[in-house]
Chains A and B, each alone.
Chain A
Amino acid sequence: MAKYLLLKHYRGGPRPHPNAEASMEQWTPEEITAHIDFMNRVADDLRERGEFVDAQALAPEGEFVRYGGEGRPPVTDGPFAETKDLIAGWMIIDVDSKERAHEAAAYLSSAPGQGGKPLHEWIEVRPFHGGPPVVE
Protein backbone atom coordinates (compact mmCIF):
# COMPACT_ATOMS: atom_id res chain seq x y z
CA MET A 1 0.00 0.00 0.00
CA ALA A 2 1.15 3.52 -0.68
CA LYS A 3 -0.34 6.88 0.10
CA TYR A 4 -1.03 9.42 -2.63
CA LEU A 5 -2.07 13.04 -2.47
CA LEU A 6 -4.70 13.98 -5.08
CA LEU A 7 -4.56 17.74 -5.54
CA LYS A 8 -7.38 19.76 -7.03
CA HIS A 9 -6.42 23.17 -8.40
CA TYR A 10 -8.38 26.38 -8.77
CA ARG A 11 -5.74 27.44 -11.29
CA GLY A 12 -2.58 26.08 -12.77
CA GLY A 13 -1.68 22.74 -14.26
CA PRO A 14 -1.84 21.83 -17.94
CA ARG A 15 -4.30 23.44 -20.36
CA PRO A 16 -7.84 22.71 -19.11
CA HIS A 17 -10.36 20.53 -20.95
CA PRO A 18 -13.13 22.64 -22.61
CA ASN A 19 -15.63 21.36 -20.01
CA ALA A 20 -13.47 22.78 -17.21
CA GLU A 21 -12.97 26.26 -18.66
CA ALA A 22 -15.93 28.06 -17.04
CA SER A 23 -15.36 28.99 -13.39
CA MET A 24 -17.92 27.77 -10.85
CA GLU A 25 -19.70 31.09 -10.35
CA GLN A 26 -20.90 30.77 -13.94
CA TRP A 27 -22.65 27.46 -13.18
CA THR A 28 -26.24 27.09 -11.92
CA PRO A 29 -26.76 26.39 -8.19
CA GLU A 30 -28.04 22.90 -9.09
CA GLU A 31 -24.87 22.18 -11.01
CA ILE A 32 -22.78 23.20 -8.02
CA THR A 33 -24.85 20.96 -5.73
CA ALA A 34 -24.45 18.05 -8.14
CA HIS A 35 -20.71 18.64 -8.25
CA ILE A 36 -20.32 18.69 -4.46
CA ASP A 37 -22.57 15.63 -4.07
CA PHE A 38 -20.36 13.79 -6.50
CA MET A 39 -17.22 14.72 -4.56
CA ASN A 40 -18.78 13.42 -1.35
CA ARG A 41 -19.76 10.23 -3.14
CA VAL A 42 -16.18 9.71 -4.29
CA ALA A 43 -15.01 10.05 -0.68
CA ASP A 44 -17.69 7.59 0.49
CA ASP A 45 -16.71 5.08 -2.20
CA LEU A 46 -13.06 5.35 -1.19
CA ARG A 47 -14.04 4.87 2.46
CA GLU A 48 -16.04 1.80 1.55
CA ARG A 49 -13.05 0.38 -0.34
CA GLY A 50 -10.79 0.96 2.68
CA GLU A 51 -8.65 3.49 0.80
CA PHE A 52 -9.71 6.85 2.20
CA VAL A 53 -7.34 8.77 4.47
CA ASP A 54 -8.32 12.43 4.40
CA ALA A 55 -9.99 15.15 2.32
CA GLN A 56 -9.95 18.91 2.80
CA ALA A 57 -10.97 21.94 0.78
CA LEU A 58 -8.99 25.17 0.86
CA ALA A 59 -10.22 28.75 0.61
CA PRO A 60 -8.85 30.53 -2.46
CA GLU A 61 -7.49 33.47 -0.46
CA GLY A 62 -4.30 33.44 1.59
CA GLU A 63 -0.78 34.76 1.35
CA PHE A 64 2.85 33.70 1.32
CA VAL A 65 4.61 34.08 4.68
CA ARG A 66 8.27 33.81 5.60
CA TYR A 67 10.65 34.40 8.52
CA GLY A 68 11.52 38.08 8.78
CA GLY A 69 14.67 37.77 10.88
CA GLU A 70 15.43 37.85 14.61
CA GLY A 71 12.87 39.99 16.51
CA ARG A 72 11.04 41.02 13.34
CA PRO A 73 7.48 40.17 12.33
CA PRO A 74 6.89 37.58 9.60
CA VAL A 75 7.13 38.90 6.06
CA THR A 76 4.00 38.42 3.96
CA ASP A 77 3.36 38.53 0.26
CA GLY A 78 -0.21 38.49 -1.00
CA PRO A 79 -2.89 38.27 -2.11
CA PHE A 80 -1.84 35.68 -4.67
CA ALA A 81 -1.11 36.82 -8.21
CA GLU A 82 -3.70 35.87 -10.83
CA THR A 83 -1.15 33.68 -12.60
CA LYS A 84 -0.23 31.66 -9.52
CA ASP A 85 -0.92 27.95 -9.41
CA LEU A 86 -3.66 27.73 -6.77
CA ILE A 87 -4.63 24.59 -4.86
CA ALA A 88 -8.35 24.11 -4.15
CA GLY A 89 -8.16 21.04 -1.96
CA TRP A 90 -6.84 17.56 -1.57
CA MET A 91 -7.72 14.00 -0.97
CA ILE A 92 -5.28 11.50 0.52
CA ILE A 93 -5.73 7.86 -0.40
CA ASP A 94 -3.91 4.67 0.61
CA VAL A 95 -3.96 2.27 -2.34
CA ASP A 96 -2.28 -0.85 -3.70
CA SER A 97 -0.71 0.63 -6.80
CA LYS A 98 0.03 3.73 -8.81
CA GLU A 99 -2.51 2.48 -11.38
CA ARG A 100 -5.20 2.42 -8.70
CA ALA A 101 -4.22 5.96 -7.60
CA HIS A 102 -4.62 7.12 -11.22
CA GLU A 103 -7.99 5.38 -11.46
CA ALA A 104 -9.19 7.18 -8.31
CA ALA A 105 -7.90 10.53 -9.64
CA ALA A 106 -9.69 9.96 -12.97
CA TYR A 107 -12.89 9.17 -11.07
CA LEU A 108 -12.52 12.42 -9.12
CA SER A 109 -11.89 14.26 -12.38
CA SER A 110 -15.12 12.93 -13.88
CA ALA A 111 -17.14 15.10 -11.46
CA PRO A 112 -20.02 16.86 -13.25
CA GLY A 113 -19.69 20.52 -14.18
CA GLN A 114 -21.78 22.79 -16.39
CA GLY A 115 -24.69 20.97 -18.03
CA GLY A 116 -23.90 17.91 -15.90
CA LYS A 117 -21.04 17.02 -18.25
CA PRO A 118 -17.85 15.53 -16.76
CA LEU A 119 -15.34 18.28 -16.00
CA HIS A 120 -12.21 16.34 -17.05
CA GLU A 121 -10.29 18.65 -14.72
CA TRP A 122 -6.61 17.92 -14.08
CA ILE A 123 -5.84 16.26 -10.76
CA GLU A 124 -2.24 16.35 -9.57
CA VAL A 125 -1.22 12.95 -8.20
CA ARG A 126 1.77 12.85 -5.82
CA PRO A 127 3.14 9.79 -4.01
CA PHE A 128 4.04 10.10 -0.32
CA HIS A 129 7.44 9.10 0.95
CA GLY A 130 7.10 5.92 3.00
CA GLY A 131 9.54 4.26 5.39
CA PRO A 132 12.79 2.63 4.31
CA PRO A 133 12.59 -1.16 3.88
CA VAL A 134 14.14 -3.22 6.65
CA VAL A 135 15.78 -5.90 4.52
CA GLU A 136 18.75 -4.29 2.79
Chain B
Amino acid sequence: MITPRLLRELAPQVLGVLVRRGADFATAEDAVQEALVEAVRRDAAPDDPKAWLITVAWRRFLDMRRSASARAMREVTVTSRPPAGPTEQTDDTLLLLSRCCHPDLTPASAIALTLRAVGGLTTAQIARAFLVPEATMAQRISRAKRTLGGARFQRPGEVGAVLRVLYLMFDNGFAGARDRGDGIGDTDLAAEAIRLTRQLAAAEPGDPEIAGLLALMLLHHARRAARFDAAGDLVPLPRQDRSRWDTDMIAEGVEVLQHALARDRLGEYQAQAAIAALHDDAPTAEETDWPQILEWYDELVRLTPGNPVVALNRAVAVGHVDGPLVGLRLVEELDPGLPRRDAVAAYLEERAGNHAAAARRYAVAAETAASVAERAHLLKQAARLNRPAH
Protein backbone atom coordinates (compact mmCIF):
# COMPACT_ATOMS: atom_id res chain seq x y z
CA MET B 1 0.00 0.00 0.00
CA ILE B 2 1.13 3.54 -0.67
CA THR B 3 1.41 5.47 2.60
CA PRO B 4 -1.19 8.19 3.30
CA ARG B 5 1.62 10.73 3.60
CA LEU B 6 2.94 9.93 0.13
CA LEU B 7 -0.58 9.89 -1.32
CA ARG B 8 -1.17 13.31 0.15
CA GLU B 9 1.98 14.62 -1.46
CA LEU B 10 1.32 12.98 -4.83
CA ALA B 11 -2.39 13.83 -5.18
CA PRO B 12 -1.89 17.49 -6.18
CA GLN B 13 0.98 16.55 -8.51
CA VAL B 14 -1.21 14.02 -10.29
CA LEU B 15 -4.05 16.54 -10.52
CA GLY B 16 -1.62 19.06 -12.00
CA VAL B 17 -0.58 16.58 -14.69
CA LEU B 18 -4.21 15.89 -15.63
CA VAL B 19 -5.11 19.58 -15.78
CA ARG B 20 -2.07 20.34 -17.93
CA ARG B 21 -3.07 17.54 -20.26
CA GLY B 22 -6.27 19.48 -20.84
CA ALA B 23 -8.63 17.78 -18.37
CA ASP B 24 -11.22 20.11 -16.86
CA PHE B 25 -10.43 20.80 -13.23
CA ALA B 26 -13.62 19.45 -11.62
CA THR B 27 -13.64 16.09 -13.44
CA ALA B 28 -9.89 15.72 -12.98
CA GLU B 29 -10.27 16.27 -9.24
CA ASP B 30 -12.93 13.55 -9.05
CA ALA B 31 -10.72 11.22 -11.09
CA VAL B 32 -7.76 11.78 -8.75
CA GLN B 33 -9.95 11.09 -5.71
CA GLU B 34 -11.01 7.77 -7.27
CA ALA B 35 -7.43 6.88 -8.09
CA LEU B 36 -6.50 7.55 -4.44
CA VAL B 37 -9.26 5.22 -3.26
CA GLU B 38 -7.97 2.55 -5.64
CA ALA B 39 -4.42 3.06 -4.36
CA VAL B 40 -5.52 2.56 -0.76
CA ARG B 41 -7.28 -0.70 -1.71
CA ARG B 42 -4.14 -2.19 -3.29
CA ASP B 43 -2.10 -4.55 -1.13
CA ALA B 44 1.32 -3.70 -2.54
CA ALA B 45 2.71 -0.32 -3.53
CA PRO B 46 3.49 0.01 -7.25
CA ASP B 47 7.15 0.55 -8.21
CA ASP B 48 6.49 4.10 -9.33
CA PRO B 49 3.51 5.32 -7.30
CA LYS B 50 3.24 8.65 -9.10
CA ALA B 51 3.24 7.11 -12.60
CA TRP B 52 0.75 4.51 -11.43
CA LEU B 53 -1.58 7.16 -9.98
CA ILE B 54 -1.36 9.25 -13.17
CA THR B 55 -2.27 6.22 -15.30
CA VAL B 56 -5.20 5.24 -13.09
CA ALA B 57 -6.47 8.81 -12.67
CA TRP B 58 -6.24 9.49 -16.40
CA ARG B 59 -8.16 6.27 -17.13
CA ARG B 60 -10.83 7.24 -14.60
CA PHE B 61 -10.99 10.72 -16.14
CA LEU B 62 -11.58 9.23 -19.61
CA ASP B 63 -14.31 6.95 -18.23
CA MET B 64 -16.02 9.93 -16.60
CA ARG B 65 -15.80 12.01 -19.75
CA ARG B 66 -17.18 9.16 -21.84
CA SER B 67 -20.14 8.54 -19.56
CA ALA B 68 -20.83 12.26 -19.35
CA SER B 69 -20.66 12.50 -23.13
CA ALA B 70 -22.90 9.48 -23.53
CA ARG B 71 -25.45 11.00 -21.21
CA ALA B 72 -25.42 14.20 -23.15
CA MET B 73 -25.58 12.27 -26.48
CA ARG B 74 -22.46 14.03 -27.61
CA GLU B 75 -19.43 12.91 -29.52
CA VAL B 76 -16.59 11.52 -27.49
CA THR B 77 -13.90 14.08 -28.13
CA VAL B 78 -11.16 12.85 -25.88
CA THR B 79 -8.73 10.33 -27.22
CA SER B 80 -7.41 7.65 -24.95
CA ARG B 81 -3.84 8.62 -25.75
CA PRO B 82 -2.54 11.31 -23.40
CA PRO B 83 -1.68 14.43 -25.39
CA ALA B 84 1.91 15.60 -25.25
CA GLY B 85 2.36 18.23 -22.61
CA PRO B 86 5.17 20.03 -20.89
CA THR B 87 7.45 17.97 -18.73
CA GLU B 88 5.70 16.30 -15.82
CA GLN B 89 8.30 17.77 -13.47
CA THR B 90 6.73 21.23 -13.83
CA ASP B 91 5.51 22.67 -10.54
CA ASP B 92 1.76 23.07 -10.88
CA THR B 93 1.14 24.66 -7.50
CA LEU B 94 0.13 28.05 -8.87
CA LEU B 95 -1.90 26.53 -11.70
CA LEU B 96 -3.95 24.46 -9.24
CA LEU B 97 -4.23 27.20 -6.63
CA SER B 98 -5.51 29.70 -9.18
CA ARG B 99 -8.25 27.20 -10.10
CA CYS B 100 -9.22 26.55 -6.46
CA CYS B 101 -9.14 30.24 -5.49
CA HIS B 102 -11.21 31.49 -8.42
CA PRO B 103 -12.95 34.79 -7.56
CA ASP B 104 -16.37 33.30 -8.41
CA LEU B 105 -16.05 31.07 -5.32
CA THR B 106 -16.80 32.28 -1.80
CA PRO B 107 -13.69 32.30 0.41
CA ALA B 108 -15.01 29.37 2.47
CA SER B 109 -15.56 27.24 -0.64
CA ALA B 110 -12.19 28.22 -2.06
CA ILE B 111 -10.46 27.27 1.20
CA ALA B 112 -12.21 23.89 1.33
CA LEU B 113 -11.41 23.11 -2.30
CA THR B 114 -7.79 24.22 -1.89
CA LEU B 115 -7.33 22.00 1.15
CA ARG B 116 -8.55 18.98 -0.78
CA ALA B 117 -7.15 19.54 -4.27
CA VAL B 118 -3.79 21.10 -3.35
CA GLY B 119 -3.45 20.32 0.36
CA GLY B 120 -4.34 16.67 -0.22
CA LEU B 121 -6.63 16.50 2.83
CA THR B 122 -9.65 14.22 2.95
CA THR B 123 -13.17 15.63 3.01
CA ALA B 124 -13.56 14.25 6.55
CA GLN B 125 -10.47 16.13 7.77
CA ILE B 126 -11.67 19.37 6.19
CA ALA B 127 -15.15 18.89 7.68
CA ARG B 128 -13.63 18.49 11.15
CA ALA B 129 -11.56 21.63 10.73
CA PHE B 130 -14.72 23.61 9.92
CA LEU B 131 -16.85 21.78 12.51
CA VAL B 132 -19.50 20.73 9.98
CA PRO B 133 -20.75 17.24 9.04
CA GLU B 134 -18.74 15.44 6.37
CA ALA B 135 -21.78 15.29 4.04
CA THR B 136 -22.10 19.07 4.23
CA MET B 137 -18.44 19.56 3.38
CA ALA B 138 -18.69 17.08 0.50
CA GLN B 139 -21.58 19.13 -0.91
CA ARG B 140 -19.71 22.38 -0.42
CA ILE B 141 -16.75 21.03 -2.37
CA SER B 142 -18.84 19.59 -5.19
CA ARG B 143 -20.82 22.83 -5.49
CA ALA B 144 -17.55 24.74 -5.71
CA LYS B 145 -16.42 22.44 -8.51
CA ARG B 146 -19.71 22.93 -10.35
CA THR B 147 -19.24 26.70 -10.07
CA LEU B 148 -15.78 26.31 -11.59
CA GLY B 149 -17.28 24.30 -14.45
CA GLY B 150 -18.95 27.45 -15.73
CA ALA B 151 -16.24 29.93 -14.79
CA ARG B 152 -13.67 31.62 -16.98
CA PHE B 153 -10.17 30.98 -15.78
CA GLN B 154 -7.84 33.76 -15.07
CA ARG B 155 -4.25 33.36 -16.10
CA PRO B 156 -2.23 31.54 -13.47
CA GLY B 157 -0.05 34.65 -13.16
CA GLU B 158 -2.79 36.50 -11.30
CA VAL B 159 -1.95 35.58 -7.75
CA GLY B 160 -3.96 38.18 -5.81
CA ALA B 161 -7.01 35.96 -5.29
CA VAL B 162 -4.80 33.00 -4.33
CA LEU B 163 -2.95 35.02 -1.69
CA ARG B 164 -6.19 36.31 -0.25
CA VAL B 165 -7.58 32.78 0.18
CA LEU B 166 -4.33 31.56 1.78
CA TYR B 167 -4.36 34.58 4.10
CA LEU B 168 -7.94 33.83 5.20
CA MET B 169 -7.10 30.15 5.68
CA PHE B 170 -4.28 31.21 7.99
CA ASP B 171 -6.16 33.94 9.84
CA ASN B 172 -9.14 31.70 10.58
CA GLY B 173 -6.89 28.79 11.27
CA PHE B 174 -6.64 29.01 15.00
CA ALA B 175 -10.26 28.21 15.78
CA GLY B 176 -10.54 24.65 14.61
CA ALA B 177 -7.31 23.33 16.00
CA ARG B 178 -7.06 25.20 19.25
CA ASP B 179 -10.43 25.80 20.84
CA ARG B 180 -11.17 22.21 21.76
CA GLY B 181 -7.94 20.43 22.49
CA ASP B 182 -9.80 17.13 22.33
CA GLY B 183 -7.71 15.54 19.60
CA ILE B 184 -10.48 15.93 17.04
CA GLY B 185 -9.00 19.04 15.48
CA ASP B 186 -6.32 17.14 13.63
CA THR B 187 -6.37 19.64 10.82
CA ASP B 188 -4.38 22.73 11.71
CA LEU B 189 -5.50 25.27 9.12
CA ALA B 190 -2.82 27.82 10.01
CA ALA B 191 -0.06 25.25 9.59
CA GLU B 192 -1.71 24.07 6.38
CA ALA B 193 -1.82 27.64 5.04
CA ILE B 194 1.89 28.03 5.80
CA ARG B 195 2.69 24.74 4.07
CA LEU B 196 0.78 25.76 0.93
CA THR B 197 2.25 29.27 0.88
CA ARG B 198 5.74 27.83 1.34
CA GLN B 199 5.09 25.49 -1.58
CA LEU B 200 3.82 28.39 -3.69
CA ALA B 201 6.80 30.57 -2.76
CA ALA B 202 9.16 27.78 -3.83
CA ALA B 203 7.32 27.42 -7.15
CA GLU B 204 7.25 31.19 -7.83
CA PRO B 205 10.45 32.55 -6.28
CA GLY B 206 10.22 35.84 -8.20
CA ASP B 207 7.03 37.15 -6.59
CA PRO B 208 7.78 39.33 -3.53
CA GLU B 209 4.15 39.38 -2.35
CA ILE B 210 4.04 35.57 -2.10
CA ALA B 211 7.21 35.77 -0.02
CA GLY B 212 5.67 38.67 1.92
CA LEU B 213 2.63 36.57 2.80
CA LEU B 214 4.83 33.64 3.84
CA ALA B 215 6.89 35.97 6.06
CA LEU B 216 3.71 37.45 7.55
CA MET B 217 2.42 33.99 8.44
CA LEU B 218 5.72 32.84 9.95
CA LEU B 219 6.13 36.02 11.99
CA HIS B 220 2.66 35.63 13.50
CA HIS B 221 2.77 31.87 13.85
CA ALA B 222 6.01 32.21 15.84
CA ARG B 223 4.00 33.81 18.69
CA ARG B 224 1.49 31.02 18.74
CA ALA B 225 2.55 29.34 22.01
CA ALA B 226 2.34 32.68 23.84
CA ARG B 227 -1.11 33.68 22.57
CA PHE B 228 -2.91 31.64 25.22
CA ASP B 229 -1.95 31.14 28.84
CA ALA B 230 -2.08 27.87 30.77
CA ALA B 231 -5.77 28.44 31.55
CA GLY B 232 -6.52 28.83 27.84
CA ASP B 233 -7.11 32.58 28.07
CA LEU B 234 -6.14 34.87 25.22
CA VAL B 235 -3.00 36.91 25.95
CA PRO B 236 -2.67 40.15 23.96
CA LEU B 237 0.65 40.99 22.32
CA PRO B 238 1.92 43.49 24.96
CA ARG B 239 1.48 40.93 27.76
CA GLN B 240 2.81 37.86 25.98
CA ASP B 241 5.72 35.91 27.46
CA ARG B 242 8.24 36.61 24.70
CA SER B 243 10.50 33.76 25.79
CA ARG B 244 7.82 31.44 24.41
CA TRP B 245 8.08 32.87 20.90
CA ASP B 246 9.65 30.59 18.30
CA THR B 247 12.91 32.40 17.50
CA ASP B 248 13.84 30.06 14.62
CA MET B 249 10.55 30.80 12.93
CA ILE B 250 11.02 34.53 13.49
CA ALA B 251 14.53 34.33 11.97
CA GLU B 252 13.15 32.50 8.94
CA GLY B 253 10.32 35.02 8.55
CA VAL B 254 12.73 37.96 8.74
CA GLU B 255 15.03 36.39 6.15
CA VAL B 256 12.14 35.67 3.75
CA LEU B 257 10.91 39.24 4.23
CA GLN B 258 14.34 40.81 3.64
CA HIS B 259 14.71 38.96 0.33
CA ALA B 260 11.23 40.10 -0.70
CA LEU B 261 11.83 43.73 0.25
CA ALA B 262 15.14 43.70 -1.65
CA ARG B 263 13.14 43.31 -4.87
CA ASP B 264 11.78 46.79 -4.28
CA ARG B 265 8.20 45.91 -5.27
CA LEU B 266 6.36 46.64 -2.07
CA GLY B 267 2.88 45.22 -1.48
CA GLU B 268 0.43 44.95 1.39
CA TYR B 269 1.63 41.56 2.63
CA GLN B 270 5.25 42.69 2.76
CA ALA B 271 4.21 45.82 4.68
CA GLN B 272 2.14 43.78 7.15
CA ALA B 273 5.03 41.35 7.57
CA ALA B 274 7.39 44.28 8.26
CA ILE B 275 5.08 45.43 11.07
CA ALA B 276 4.96 41.90 12.51
CA ALA B 277 8.76 41.69 12.28
CA LEU B 278 9.16 44.93 14.26
CA HIS B 279 6.91 43.57 17.01
CA ASP B 280 8.83 40.27 17.03
CA ASP B 281 12.11 42.14 17.21
CA ALA B 282 11.31 43.98 20.47
CA PRO B 283 12.75 42.25 23.57
CA THR B 284 9.92 43.77 25.65
CA ALA B 285 6.64 45.49 24.73
CA GLU B 286 8.07 48.80 26.02
CA GLU B 287 10.99 48.58 23.61
CA THR B 288 8.73 48.28 20.54
CA ASP B 289 9.89 50.60 17.74
CA TRP B 290 6.53 52.37 17.33
CA PRO B 291 7.81 55.23 15.10
CA GLN B 292 9.02 52.70 12.54
CA ILE B 293 5.80 50.68 12.86
CA LEU B 294 3.84 53.86 12.18
CA GLU B 295 5.89 54.47 9.03
CA TRP B 296 4.94 51.01 7.80
CA TYR B 297 1.28 51.69 8.58
CA ASP B 298 1.54 54.83 6.48
CA GLU B 299 2.86 52.65 3.63
CA LEU B 300 0.02 50.20 4.22
CA VAL B 301 -2.56 53.01 4.04
CA ARG B 302 -1.02 54.07 0.74
CA LEU B 303 -1.18 50.46 -0.57
CA THR B 304 -4.72 49.75 0.65
CA PRO B 305 -6.49 53.12 0.68
CA GLY B 306 -9.76 53.21 2.61
CA ASN B 307 -9.17 49.94 4.47
CA PRO B 308 -10.81 50.54 7.89
CA VAL B 309 -8.94 47.70 9.63
CA VAL B 310 -5.62 49.23 8.62
CA ALA B 311 -6.84 52.64 9.83
CA LEU B 312 -7.83 51.14 13.20
CA ASN B 313 -4.48 49.41 13.71
CA ARG B 314 -2.66 52.54 12.59
CA ALA B 315 -4.50 54.46 15.33
CA VAL B 316 -2.82 52.22 17.91
CA ALA B 317 0.59 53.08 16.47
CA VAL B 318 -0.32 56.79 16.43
CA GLY B 319 -1.40 56.42 20.07
CA HIS B 320 2.08 55.18 20.95
CA VAL B 321 3.95 57.77 18.88
CA ASP B 322 1.86 60.96 19.23
CA GLY B 323 -0.05 60.12 22.41
CA PRO B 324 -3.20 58.11 23.17
CA LEU B 325 -5.59 61.05 22.78
CA VAL B 326 -4.39 61.64 19.21
CA GLY B 327 -4.92 57.93 18.49
CA LEU B 328 -8.37 58.07 20.09
CA ARG B 329 -9.42 60.95 17.84
CA LEU B 330 -8.59 58.78 14.82
CA VAL B 331 -10.59 55.86 16.27
CA GLU B 332 -13.65 58.07 16.80
CA GLU B 333 -13.62 58.98 13.10
CA LEU B 334 -14.06 55.32 12.11
CA ASP B 335 -17.36 53.50 11.51
CA PRO B 336 -18.87 52.58 14.91
CA GLY B 337 -19.73 49.12 13.55
CA LEU B 338 -16.09 48.27 12.80
CA PRO B 339 -15.03 45.11 14.68
CA ARG B 340 -12.56 45.74 17.56
CA ARG B 341 -13.10 49.52 17.39
CA ASP B 342 -14.24 49.69 21.03
CA ALA B 343 -11.44 47.39 22.17
CA VAL B 344 -8.84 49.69 20.57
CA ALA B 345 -10.55 52.77 22.03
CA ALA B 346 -10.53 51.14 25.48
CA TYR B 347 -6.82 50.36 25.18
CA LEU B 348 -6.04 53.98 24.25
CA GLU B 349 -8.33 55.37 27.00
CA GLU B 350 -6.43 53.29 29.54
CA ARG B 351 -3.08 54.52 28.23
CA ALA B 352 -4.43 58.06 28.58
CA GLY B 353 -5.21 57.30 32.23
CA ASN B 354 -9.01 57.41 31.79
CA HIS B 355 -9.71 54.18 33.63
CA ALA B 356 -13.48 54.59 34.01
CA ALA B 357 -13.91 55.33 30.31
CA ALA B 358 -11.60 52.44 29.43
CA ALA B 359 -13.63 50.03 31.59
CA ARG B 360 -16.86 51.16 29.94
CA ARG B 361 -15.46 50.68 26.46
CA TYR B 362 -13.95 47.27 27.29
CA ALA B 363 -17.42 46.19 28.46
CA VAL B 364 -19.01 47.46 25.23
CA ALA B 365 -16.29 45.71 23.22
CA ALA B 366 -17.03 42.44 25.03
CA GLU B 367 -20.65 42.63 23.83
CA THR B 368 -19.55 42.45 20.21
CA ALA B 369 -16.49 40.20 20.55
CA ALA B 370 -16.18 37.65 17.78
CA SER B 371 -14.98 34.79 19.97
CA VAL B 372 -15.37 33.36 23.44
CA ALA B 373 -11.68 33.90 24.19
CA GLU B 374 -11.82 37.55 23.11
CA ARG B 375 -15.00 38.16 25.08
CA ALA B 376 -13.51 36.69 28.25
CA HIS B 377 -10.35 38.73 27.78
CA LEU B 378 -12.26 42.00 27.29
CA LEU B 379 -14.54 41.35 30.27
CA LYS B 380 -11.49 40.76 32.47
CA GLN B 381 -9.97 44.04 31.29
CA ALA B 382 -13.18 45.84 32.26
CA ALA B 383 -13.31 44.01 35.60
CA ARG B 384 -9.65 44.82 36.36
CA LEU B 385 -10.24 48.54 35.75
CA ASN B 386 -13.52 48.56 37.69
CA ARG B 387 -11.80 47.33 40.87
CA PRO B 388 -11.04 50.23 43.21
CA ALA B 389 -7.32 50.90 43.41
CA HIS B 390 -5.63 49.62 46.57
A85 at the interface (CB under 8 A from B): no
- Bound-state Cα–Cα, A52 to B136, Å: 6
Q: Is B106 an interface residue (CB 8 A)?
A: yes
Docked CA distance A129–B139 (Å): 24
Q: Is A59 an interface residue when CB atoms closer than 8 A count as contact? A: no
Contact A134 B174 (CB under 8 A): yes
B171 A133 Cβ-Cβ under 8 A: yes
Segment at the A interface, from B54-62, B175-183, B252-260:
B175-183
The smallest C-beta distance from B132 to any residue of chain A, in angstroms, reads 5
Interface-facing stretch out of B21-29, B68-76, B195-203, B370-378:
B370-378
Given the known inter-chain contacts A49-B143, A129-B370, please indicate yes or no for A134 contacting B173, CB distance below 8 A: yes
Distance, CA A130 to CA B375, complexed state (A): 11
Known: A131-B179, A134-B190. A50 touches B137 (CB 8 A): yes
Task: Tell me the bound Cα distance from A3 to B370 in angstroms.
Answer: 12
Residues in B neighbouring A135, C-beta threshold 8 A: 167, 170-171, 216, 220, 272, 276
CA distance A50 to B116 in the complex (A): 15
Interface size on A, residues (CB 8 A): 20
Contact B171 A47 (CB under 8 A): no
Choice from A50, A130, A134, A136 contacting B139 with Cβ under 8 Å = A50
With A47-B139, A51-B136, A96-B106 as known contacts, state yes or no: A134 contacts B170, CB within 8 Å: yes
Instruction: Answer yes or no: A75 CB below 8 A from chain B CBs.
Output: no
**Chain B residues positioned under 8 Å from A121 (CB to CB):** none
Is B369 in contact with A129, judged by CB distance below 8 angstroms?
yes
Give me the interface of A with B, judged by CB distance under 8 Å: 1, 3, 47-54, 94, 96, 129-136
Q: A94-B132, A134-B172 are known; give 16 further A-B pairs, CB within 8 A.
A: A1-B106, A47-B135, A50-B136, A50-B137, A50-B140, A53-B131, A94-B108, A94-B131, A130-B172, A131-B175, A132-B175, A132-B374, A133-B171, A133-B172, A134-B190, A136-B220
Residues of B within 8 A of A (CB): 106-109, 130-133, 135-141, 143, 167, 170-176, 178-179, 190, 216, 220-221, 234, 236-237, 272, 276, 369-375
- Report the 3 A-B pairs with minimum CB-CB distance, sorted nearest first: A131-B175, A50-B140, A1-B108
